[in-house]
A and B are shown apart, each in its own frame.
Chain A
Amino acid sequence: MNCLLCNEPARTAASWTGLFSARSRPVVCAPCRSGFEAPNGQPPLAEWKGTPYEGALDGARALFAYNEPMKQFLHQYKFLRDAALARVFSGELADAVSKSGGRAVAIPVHPDRLKERTFPHVEELLRQARIPHVEMLEKTASVTLGKMNRQERMALDLLFRLRTGIQKAPGEYVLVDDLYTTGTTLHHAAAVLKQAGADRVTAVTLIRA
């Protein structure tokens, strides 16, 4: 098949799994793939020391750096709404979530935003990677963190609450999101789960901005 990013024919090595299952075949060509790099360090959770959210997250891991190819990828996936791209990082995401341990929870999108975007971009990553996940959270307000500075972000009221009908959140969870910038989203989500009784909450993000 052709590469999902550059549309050139992607030549891939023949393999037994590839012969029997289209899922395990890569969807991007080697040159495009090589543009994505490991992040420059992992999310600094220590920055949250001394805030009410200290300790909400028990660990966080980001898979890729926010370099130029990754910016283009996210632009095409999230803003041009090219849902087909949800499969590009399925392998890496599935590995990271299973290593982290716990039930996967996608960071939800506000219903108004969902209508505009037409698909839930984080949940779609999990669905395409065939990662079992549970819907625990919903967004309280439709705010755009992108336009706020660090202080404003840290002072926000809780961005999430438990979904209606869910009272408790026992056990271990892995939160999944696209970007780790300051960590506000993930800390808020983790705090909600911890308040509802979660033992351990970790996070996996595709990108460390």
Chain B
Amino acid sequence: MQGRLWLKEFLPFHEEVVAGQIKAGHIGILPGLLVTERRFLTDRFLCNRCLSADSRSFYSFDCRRCENRCHYCRHCIRMGRVASCDELVYWKGPERAGDPAPELKWTGTLTPAQESAAQEMTGSLREGKPHLLHAVCGAGKTEILFGPVHRLLAEGKRVCIATPRTDVVLELLPRFRQAFGGVVIHGLYGGSGHGEGFAPLVISTTHQLYRFRHAFDAIFVDEADAFPFSYDRTLGNAVKKALKPGGVTAFVTATPSAAVLSATENGGRSVIRRRFHGHPLPVPRFRPLWNYRRRLESGKLPARLREWTEARMAAGEPFLIFFPSVGLMEKSLPLFRELDGRIGAVHASSADRREQVLALRSGEVPGLLTTTILERGITIANLQAAVVGAENGVFDRAAIIQIGGRVGRSADWPDGDIVLFHHGITPEMDEAVREIRRLNRGGEQPVELPSLQ
């Protein structure tokens, strides 16, 4: 249980064992909630697991266990409820002795740009400084991490790779298991279980970091700007809580936000403007699709959209079509099914998200409709992408760059079409295209512009 923060009630050990360890001073106890401020009508609270302090997350009820007015945190309730009368426990006994150094089995070679980024990153982390790896989509970020992660593990350090999405955990886990021999790697996400035993390397969703305290010497935050990381301030605090005192953070992203840049101000920074295969990023093109919403809702597939889809199917190219909302996507699905009954739709609560993406990759389905849920971390050879309603607020600069980043990722098909169907061009769309062109020119330093929204 080293580094973990457990609800005492749910510790997977016998009560007597736990009591003994508490007596021996090996287990520390924190109250579930902290009262941060006494007030006339309502006190203010802090959840000791997720560090939420938002008064709207706390709910009170008459507790029949402590026979009192009890509060609990609704922010992290899905991980098991933390109430005022709950106790959180953590290990403070002897630290586990260093594990044998893992073996780096990965035999690929890095491009010179990847190589120098890996070395710069290792350098910063060894000096205890934060590091930002700003690399375009398809630059081979995962491969860059192998070296620095291996180095840290070999020194007996405990490492975490945190990413906002379960899909990315599932994609990274087999690649790291393949690359490293002789080390236990846990993959943690909602519903994954806790993992058996002690793992020097943990690949986790950012949410699952709530379950850790002073656990890691280094945390790599992947897609550092993505929802929900940029959205949810408590998640940033969770990274701090999961780090050991003096631990370091590295951020990895294709679209750094102002918050990430300021967090790494005093640290190192590597920029990779070229994809690993050396070809430029596909530049999105704009196509007007006036009144698309009304037409889709009245059951008509706009001609331009139909032609684009038919051209993809005729050429046998897999495609993704991004929609601004689940509602509009579901209204459009039957219209696309008239073209090909196998076309599917994927959104955040689709249970078969993984299967659908696999079916697209294997060619069983010609294409998928989706929301921004698939904007990151998906690699499918020869993929083509379209955005319907690119003027919508959910498609900001970062989202468009990420969607464009799905296209042309493999060396065999380094190019592809990314088309933004719109009802008016927004500054965010312009800015995304400008940034991609700037990266393709490779000369100028990319300048960070805060989101215009």
Contact = CB atoms under 8 A, between A and B. Distances in A.
Contacts of B56: 1-2
Nearest to B86: A118
A118 B65 contact: yes
A141 interface: no
Interface string B165-178: 00000000000000
A83 B59 contact: yes
A84 B83 CA distance: 13
B59 A119 contact: no
Interface in A106-147: 114-120, 124
The winner among A1, A81, A114, A118 for most chain B CB atoms within 10 A is: A118
Nearest to A128: B61
A80 B86 CA distance: 14
A114 B64 CA distance: 7
Given A115-B65, A119-B64, A120-B64, A84 B81 contact: no
A118 B70 CA distance: 10
Contact of A80 (B61, B64, B78): B78
B442 interface: no
Given A83-B59, A84-B59, A115-B64, A76 B77 contact: yes
Interface in A142-189: none
A83 B61 contact: yes
Given A81-B72, A119-B61, 6 more contacts: A1-B56, A76-B77, A80-B80, A82-B59, A117-B64, A118-B63
Contacts of B74: 82, 84
B62 interface: yes
Given A2-B56, A118-B70, A118-B83, A80 B77 contact: yes
Interface string A1-40: 1100000000000000000000000000000000000000
Contacts of A116: 65
Contacts of B59: 82-84
A4 B80 CA distance: 17
Contacts of B61: 83-84, 118-119, 124
Nearest to B75: A7
Contacts, number: 37
A115 B81 CA distance: 15
A3 to B, nearest CB: 12
A166 to B, nearest CB: 21
B62 A119 contact: yes
Interface of B: 56, 59, 61-65, 70, 72, 74, 77-78, 80-81, 83
B213 to A, nearest CB: 22
Nearest to B58: A84
B64 A81 contact: no
B393 to A, nearest CB: 14
Interface in A64-88: 76, 80-84
B63 A119 contact: yes
Contacts of B63: 118-119
A116 B80 CA distance: 13
Contacts of B65: 115-116, 118
8 contacts: A1-B56, A2-B56, A76-B78, A80-B80, A80-B81, A84-B61, A118-B63, A119-B62
Nearest to A83: B61
Nearest to B62: A119
Contacts of B62: 119
A117 B61 CA distance: 12
The winner among A76, A82, A124 for most chain B CB atoms within 10 A is: A82
A33 to B, nearest CB: 15
A76 B83 CA distance: 15
Interface in A87-109: none
A63 to B, nearest CB: 23
The winner among B56, B74, B83 for most chain A CB atoms within 10 A is: B74
A82 B70 CA distance: 12
B77 A118 contact: no
B81 A82 contact: yes
Interface string A37-66: 000000000000000000000000000000
A203 B64 CA distance: 26
A115 B85 CA distance: 12
Contact of B64 (A2, A76, A84, A118): A118
Contacts of A1: 56
Closest 5 CB pairs of A and B: A83-B61, A84-B59, A118-B65, A81-B81, A114-B64
Nearest to A1: B56
Contacts of B83: 118
B271 to A, nearest CB: 36
A138 to B, nearest CB: 14
Nearest to A115: B65
Nearest to B65: A118
A114 B61 CA distance: 14
A90 to B, nearest CB: 15
A82 B77 contact: yes
A124 to B, nearest CB: 7
Nearest to B80: A80
Contacts of A2: 56
Contacts of A117: 64
B352 to A, nearest CB: 13
Contacts of A115: 64-65
